[in-house]
Amino acid sequence: MTWIEPQKAEPNQKRDTMTPPRAPGLRAQSVYNALRRAIIEQALKPAMKLPEDSIGEQLGVSRTLVREALGRLAVEGLVELKPNRGASVAYPTLEEARDVFDVRRGLERLVAENLAGRLTAAQAAELEAHVRQEEMAHGRDGPESIRLSGEFHIKLAEMTGNALLLRYVQEASSRCSLILAIYGRPHSSECAVSEHRQLIEALRDGDAARAAHLMDHHLQSVVTRALLTPRAERDIRDLLAPYALSEGLTSP
Amino acid sequence: MTWIEPQKAEPNQKRDTMTPPRAPGLRAQSVYNALRRAIIEQALKPAMKLPEDSIGEQLGVSRTLVREALGRLAVEGLVELKPNRGASVAYPTLEEARDVFDVRRGLERLVAENLAGRLTAAQAAELEAHVRQEEMAHGRDGPESIRLSGEFHIKLAEMTGNALLLRYVQEASSRCSLILAIYGRPHSSECAVSEHRQLIEALRDGDAARAAHLMDHHLQSVVTRALLTPRAERDIRDLLAPYALSEGLTSP
DNA sequence: GATATCACTATCGTATGCAATATTGATTAT
DNA sequence: ATAATCAATATTGCATACGATAGTGATATC
């Protein structure tokens, strides 16, 4: 994969005098966005090292801004930060994965309860349009399908009008993406569209209990559908153990 | 209150050559901790400006670390960050306050459900000991009482063993402290100790539904006990409006 | 006298510099 | 050959430097 050439940043050139100075703080945000998307879309694979220098060079910003972005990603759990050893894409353990999914289920249950009976007609229509899109993209184009089913949940959280709830759901969702990238089956379609449909129906009916229940089981089934296979272990020693055995090398 | 003199940081002195260099990243954490506590304990009052220079000077670190800390506090909602205008202690609106309390209730309901029937004997004992402490500190020494009742909820979250849930509960709790500092009644004792007792009992009995319900109403009553009085408005214009009226000055 | 203009100051946003630490490859001793 | 030592390199942690921006008071203009 080749990146487009960044603005060369010649050592002793006053600074790029051409690119219009964007709003302050916006460049930091852009770095954050870029890294976040790259991680979620698996352009940056779990456990991959993230050196401040090279990232800054590629993105045309100084290490300062990269550091800031990495810091934020670290509190969100997408990046791991080790003292004096720098940042890498997070590689959650199975235990952490379970924690994240549990919290996400709880949060989205809240969303469902909050929304039940409160959906405006416009909102309901928007959700249904979204589900139709999901149906279209089913089958082929895996990434698109995954993105859409993720966005469905974000849309729901947005509709609660509760900014904090939205933030937490977003955070949990992105960590779930990372987790599925590690432990998920290759072609699991993540969310069953029919379950989304049922959920909308329950929300329309104002049946909070049913909506919460549906959401809970929906997310639970995502886990069992996609997460059943603990196919990788984090520690390089565990990865190498079978090779060691087959080569007759005993580990200490 | 007088602070101890920071290590002077004479302009052209190579750096403090005496203080033993603490672990890397630990100083940033210390700045974060200091600011966080100062905000929660209301040493730094809501809406107070937080200039990077002066803070760094007081704490004996450079603006870099202060910025990092402020950034983290901003994502947690304890600090507000305006472009080119710097940081100030957050001053949540009543609407934001409602959001935070709603999410907190939901999260702690999760905690209760998670813990019901899973408490070890040691954990139950610890909680009971804590409640006894709360009873002792009742009545007199307001701050101590508030701190204890907050810690009760944190302890519960810790006992779930779910790191993410703990983080979210901590975050929501600290924001609640800030909110109560603004909108709360002066001497509301926050949590009724008896409600804590009942909750422990339900958790022991493994009655998840009752535990969740108790937690929900417990937090709900905190709101109604303490938050009833919307006694301040944020915008200086709102504060001045009545004065304008009484002076016969019409606003545009 | 009220409003517009401008210099001044305080503070932020960001890049860069330097010392400290980890990592890696080479060299040497066992 | 294996293990230990050490120099070279890469990268972080943090401080500082410098240009940019918003607020403030002084001066000029109508």
Q: Residue B80 belongs to a domain with what CATH number?
A: 1.10.10.10
Q: B127 near B200, Cβ under 8 Å?
A: yes
CB contact under 8 A, B75 and A72: yes
pLDDT digits (tens, 9 = 90+) for B6-36: 333 333 334 444 566 678 889 999 999 999 9
Do residues B89 and B50 touch, judged by C-beta distance below 8 A?
A: yes
Q: Cα-flanking dihedrals φ and ψ of residue A12, to 5°?
A: -110, 50
Judged against a pLDDT cut of 70, whether residue A241 lies above it is answered with: no
A48 pLDDT exceeds 60? yes
- Residue B68 forms contact with A (CB below 8 Å): yes
Whether residue B18 is contained in a domain is answered as no
Strand D bases with any atom < 7 A from protein Cβ: 10-17, 20-23
Q: Closest chain B residue to A75 measured between Cα atoms?
A: B72
**DSSP classification of residue A32:** H
B72 at A interface, C-beta within 8 A: yes
**A82 has a chain B CB within 8 A of its CB:** no
Asked if the structure places residue A238 within a domain, the reply is no
Do B68 and B166 belong together in one domain?
no
Going from the C-alpha of B94 to that of each of A153, B80, B114, B163, B248, the distances in angstroms are 26, 16, 30, 29, 29
Distance from CA of B218 to the nearest CA of A (A): 18
Q: Which of residues 83-102 of A touch B (CB under 8 A)?
A: 83-84, 96, 99-100, 102
Residue finishing a domain among B89, B108, B133? B89
> CA angle, corner B92, sides to B90 and B93, nearest 5?
150
Same domain for A114 and A136, yes or no, is yes
And the tokens for B65?
Answer: 């670390």
Tokens (6 digits) for A232: 């990788």
Please give the structure tokens belonging to residue B73: 């506090």
Question: What pLDDT, on a 0 to 100 scale, did the predictor assign at position A225?
Answer: 79
Gap from A110 CA to D10 C1', Å: 48
Q: Are B75 and B186 in the same domain?
A: no
Q: Is residue A244 part of a domain?
A: no
Beta-carbon separation of A102 and B165 below 8 A: yes
Helix (H, G, I), strand (E, B) or coil at B234: coil
Instruction: Tell me the C-alpha distance between B92 and B234, whole Å.
Output: 8
A164, B23: Cβ pair inside 8 Å? no
The yes-or-no verdict on residue A247 having pLDDT over 60 is yes
**Which structural domain range is residue B54 located in?**
26-89
Last residue of a domain, one of B89, B109, B132: B89
Q: pTM for the whole thing?
A: 0.87
Which of A23, A100, A163 has its CB closest to that of B164?
Answer: A100
Regarding whether A98 and A83 lie in a shared domain, the answer is no
Q: What is the pLDDT of residue B11?
A: 38
Please indicate if any CB of chain A lies within 8 Å of the CB of B144.
no
Q: Is B86 within 8 Å of B93 (Cβ atoms)?
A: no
Distance from residue A182 (CA) to nucleotide D8 (C1'), in Å? 36
For residue B1, the one-letter residue type is M
Q: Which member of A83, A96, A103 has the closest CB to residue B168?
A: A103
Residue A112 lies in a domain: yes
- Measured from the Cβ of residue A91, the count of other Cβ atoms closer than 10 Å reads 18
A127 lies in the same domain as A210: yes
- Does A40 share its domain with A78? yes
CB within 8 Å: B75 and A75: yes
Q: Are residues A73 and A100 in the same domain?
A: no
Q: Find the CATH number of the domain harbouring B180.
A: 1.20.120.530
Look at chain B and report how many structural domains it folds into.
Answer: 2
Does B4 fall in a domain? no
Q: How close is the nearest chain A Cα to the Cα of B132, in Å?
A: 31
The verdict on residue B7 lying in a domain is no
Ramachandran class of B5: left when φ > 0, alpha when ψ lies in -120 to 50, beta otherwise = beta
Residue of A nearest to B162 (CA): A99
Same domain, A141 and A184: yes
Q: How much is the pLDDT for A20?
A: 59
Phi, psi of B207 (to 5 degrees): -90, 85
In sign, the C-alpha dihedral spanning B37, B41, B47, B50 is negative
Question: Do B137 and B155 lie in a common domain?
Answer: yes
In a 3-state reduction of DSSP, which class is residue B196? helix
Asked if A105 and A168 sit in the same domain, the reply is: yes
Which range has highest mean pLDDT (A172-186, B48-62, B127-141)?
Answer: B48-62
Which DSSP string do the residues of A87-149 spell out, in sequence order? Answer: EEE----HHHHHHHHHHHHHHHHHHHHHHTTT--HHHHHHHHHHHHHHHHHSSS-HHHHHHHH
Instruction: Give the burial class of A237: count Cβ atoms within 10 A of its Cβ; 0-12 exposed, 13-18 middle, 19 or more buried.
Output: exposed
Q: Which of B62, B73, B85, B103 to mutate to test the interface with A (most CBs of A within 10 A)?
A: B103
pLDDT at residue A13 above 80? no
Long-range contacts of B57-64 (CB under 8 A, 24+ apart): B57/B6, B57/B9, B58/B3, B58/B6, B59/B6, B59/B30, B59/B31, B59/B34, B60/B6, B60/B7, B60/B9, B60/B16, B61/B27, B61/B31, B64/A64
Beta carbon pairs, A and B, within 8 Å: 65
Record: contact B68-A72, CB cut-off 8 A: no
Q: Are residues A81 and A159 in the same domain?
A: no
Domain membership of residue B10 (yes or no) is no
Report if residue A52 sits inside a domain.
yes
Instruction: Kindly report, residue by residue over B50-101, the tens digit of the pLDDT.
Output: 999 999 999 999 999 999 999 999 999 999 999 999 999 999 998 999 999 9
Question: Are B197 and B203 contacting, i.e. CB atoms less than 8 angstroms apart?
Answer: no
- Same domain as A174, residue A159: yes
Report the distance from CA of residue B88 to the C1' of nucleotide C6 in Å, as an integer: 29
Burial class (CB in 10 A: 0-12, 13-18, 19+), A176: buried
A75 touches chain B (CB under 8 A): yes
